[in-house]
Copies of this chain bind each other. A is one copy, B any other.
Amino acid sequence: MALTVVGSLAYDAVETPFGKRDRMLGGAATHFALAASFFDTVHVVGPVGDDFADEDLTILATRGTNVDDVERVAGGKTFFWAGKYSANLNERETLDTQLNVFETFAPKLSQASKDADVLFLANIVPDLQADVRQQCAAAKFVAMDSMNLWIDIARESLEKVIGMVDCLILNDEEIEQLTGAPNLVQAAAKVLEMGPTVVVAKQGKYGAALFTADDHFWVPAYPLETVVDPTGAGDTFAGGFVGTVAAALQGGEQLTEGLLRNAMAYGTALASFNVEEFGTERVARLTAEEIPERVANLRRITSFEDRPVSLRG
């Protein structure tokens, strides 16, 4: 019983109003795995170069994450991304992207990774996502991320793989772009017609929304006094969300609305730790004991009583 993630392992150079890092561990699969490993045994599938440090592989292996399928490409260099955030962290500018070993990445899954019950396809070329999804035929719950680039240049492949998964996790504006719908409610309904039974819209600092055939659910981002670096927040959220689902399915639970809402809360809590420091720094030393308090706080700050109000006719 395990959770497989396929995606990028990277080094990031990041500048925010609160500091900078020239080279820090990053990548979607990294952030996802660090969060998901609180819930299940994670198998990471992704390429790195000769330059990938042993201590970063050790961080990736936190809480027993299996790194056997981290492919070290001889003579290659690890994916590198550099970006700079605006004053209020709402926008970021990409300064440099070096695909390096990612350019020729063809996911090779060990039998253990293929046997996973739950699969997360982080943001990579849609055709590779489809390939991995087919390799993991036994997976009971498959979620995926993507990005506007693939909507622009590989829409057909993207729509095909969306039709092969249970859950699409995407930024709200990308969901609108994907479907051409004028608002998120209409857009999510269109995605539900494409195949997935679960749609999660990430809304950045505003939180996230969940759409199923049954209902909607909206949760704010966890309010923080200190936000230092949003890099990886979406993948950390996905790790908490998919991880919660994985743990519950393996405990024999059904994929209910209640479970999914709980997963949204855990994803939100995990993401809140991620943004408090640069890159993986905070989540890498996070302990399981710290998480439930944030989930409980999230519940407290979103609850209200439906008190009777006498309305004038």
In Å, the complex CA distance between A217 and B304 comes to: 9
Q: Does A54 belong to the interface (CB within 8 Å)?
A: no
Complex: chain B residue closest to A227, CB-CB: B183
Name the B residues within 8 Å of A261 (CB-CB): 303-305
CB pair A306 B299 closer than 8 Å: yes
Total count of chain A residues near the partner, CB < 8 A: 65
Which residue of B217, B301, B306 contacts A216 across the interface (Cβ within 8 Å)? B301
Residues on B with beta carbons closer than 8 Å to the beta carbon of A301 = 215-218
CB <8 Å contact, B302 and A218? yes
Judge if A52 is at the interface, Cβ distance under 8 Å: no
Kindly name the residue among A203, A287, A291 whose own CB sees the greatest number of chain B CB atoms within 10 A: A203
**Is A132 located at the chain interface by the 8 A CB criterion?**
no
Q: Which residue of B173, B206, B262 is within 8 Å of A203 (Cβ)?
A: B206
CB-based contact A312/B295 at 8 Å:
no
Closest B residue by C-beta to A40: B312
Known: A38-B312, A203-B206, A299-B306. A185 touches B217 (CB 8 A): no
Contacts of A13 in B (CB 8 A): none
CB distance B220 to A207 under 8 Å?
Answer: yes
**A309 interface contact, C-beta 8 A:** yes
| A191 smallest CB distance to B (angstroms) | 14
Interface pair A88/B258, CB less than 8 Å apart: no
Task: Name the B residues within 8 Å of A176 (CB-CB).
Answer: 88
Residues of chain B within 8 A of A225, CB atoms compared: 183, 185-186, 189
0/1 per residue, A216-259, Cβ < 8 Å to B?
A: 11111001110100000000000000001001100100000011
Q: Which residues of A contact B (CB under 8 A)?
A: 17-18, 37-40, 63-64, 87-89, 173, 176, 182-186, 189, 203, 205-207, 209, 215-220, 223-225, 227, 244, 247-248, 251, 258-259, 261-262, 264-266, 287-288, 291-292, 295-296, 299-307, 309-313
